[in-house]
Amino acid sequence: DSLVVGSSFESAVLLSCARLFLNADDRESRFALAYALSKLGKIPAQLEPFVFQQQTTSKGIPYLSGLFPGLQQLFSQQESLYTFGARVFEVFGLLLEPNAMVDSCLDLLYGFQTREGSFATLPSWWEAEAKKRNVPAPQDKPAVQVMTIHKSKGLEFEHVILPFGINYKSGGDAHWIDVDVHPELARLPITKSDKNAPLFEPELWSALENQSYFDWMNMAYVAMTRPVSGLHVFVDKEKPDELGKGLIAYLACDPEQGSYRSGEVVLPKISSQNEAVLPVAPKPGAFSPANLRM
């Protein structure tokens, strides 16, 4: 449901630049910066990513300064941490359009600065803290939300993918059973399994079996009633689980065919550029340092 700031390429750009500010000969940080810029699509169009990464790792800041005006000046003078971060993103063209990751990086950097953080302690602090900061995924970007069936309860989605089976398991849990072993051991936790079945009263065993099956049916029901337009279920044809067996039997389909489709294909909704929601300016008095665009 969210993106981790510390795992983003925007974070890698900022962190590697901070390390290069402290040590321009750090080849590992040179490569990290070049790789992140390549992944973000912020390198000159005429350069191959591999060549760009190789040249950056070998030649460092002087090479990058020839491609990104203003970079040499950034590394030649010391500014506040927040100003440094904002100028890093400006130099590499990451302030030209709204970017939730850039905003979160700058907010995190500003918070570190207000706690009297320094360039020397920034890299170690950033590695520890950035991985704790999550950014909600933008609603207007195509993405797949990964969640458990339990978490999806009560929600609905245009399309739902069940990549794994929902297998029925009748045992595994421990239950307190009355035993006639010792006066002080009137009950013991016994794992429900076929091997321990003789230890359970028939009525209790039947009730537990029914409860397990009922829980499994509820799980399958929740998973299969979340979609609005399409449900996509993957079944192992060699070893189908209980849900797979039920679907194969109900649909009377041949697993050897590889796939089964029912209904009409529903194409995803594509919003036009004219329908894009413009950001609302903050009210007077409400200020976030990440709203600054230098």
Give the pair of three-digit tokens for residue 86: 């904002």
Is this prediction's pTM over 0.85?
Answer: no
Q: Is residue 294 part of a domain?
A: no
Q: What is the mean pLDDT of the chain?
A: 82
Nearest Cα to Cα of residue 9 among 47, 32, 44, 36 = 36
Same domain for 117 and 175? no
60 or 191, greater pLDDT: 60
Tell me: do 7 and 126 sit in the same domain.
Answer: yes
Are residues 233 and 207 part of one domain?
yes
The residue among 140, 168, 199 that closes a domain is 140
d(CA 135, CA 107) in angstroms, rounded, equals 12
3-state SS of the chain: helix, strand, coil percent to 5?
A: 50, 10, 40
66 in the same domain as 47: yes
Q: How far apart are CA 42 and CA 102, in angstroms?
A: 14
Q: Is residue 81 assigned to a domain?
A: yes
Q: Which of the pair, 251 or 114, is modelled with greater confidence? A: 114
> Is 290 part of any domain?
no
Is 222 in the same domain as 161? yes
Give the DSSP letter of residue 45: T
pLDDT the model gives residue 148 = 86
Could you give the CA distance from residue 118 to residue 113 in angstroms, rounded to a whole number? 7
Range of 169's domain? Answer: 149-257
Tell whether 194 is covered by a domain: yes
Q: How confident is the model at residue 2 (pLDDT cuts 50, 70, 90)?
A: low
88 and 163 share a domain? no
| Other Cβ atoms closer than 10 A to 147 | 12
Check whether 247 has a pLDDT greater than 70.
yes
Number of domains present in the structure of the chain: 2
Contact yes or no for 177/188 (Cβ under 8 A): yes
Q: Same domain for 160 and 105?
A: no
**For residues 62 and 276, what is the distance between their CA atoms, to the nearest angstrom?**
40
Give the lowest-confidence range in 75-79, 205-209, 290-294.
290-294
For a pLDDT cut of 90, what percent of the chain falls above it?
Answer: 36
**CB of 56 within 8 A of CB of 63?**
yes
227-233 and 157-162 strand pairing? parallel
Asked if residue 188 and residue 87 are part of one domain, the reply reads no
The verdict on 204 and 126 lying in the same domain is no
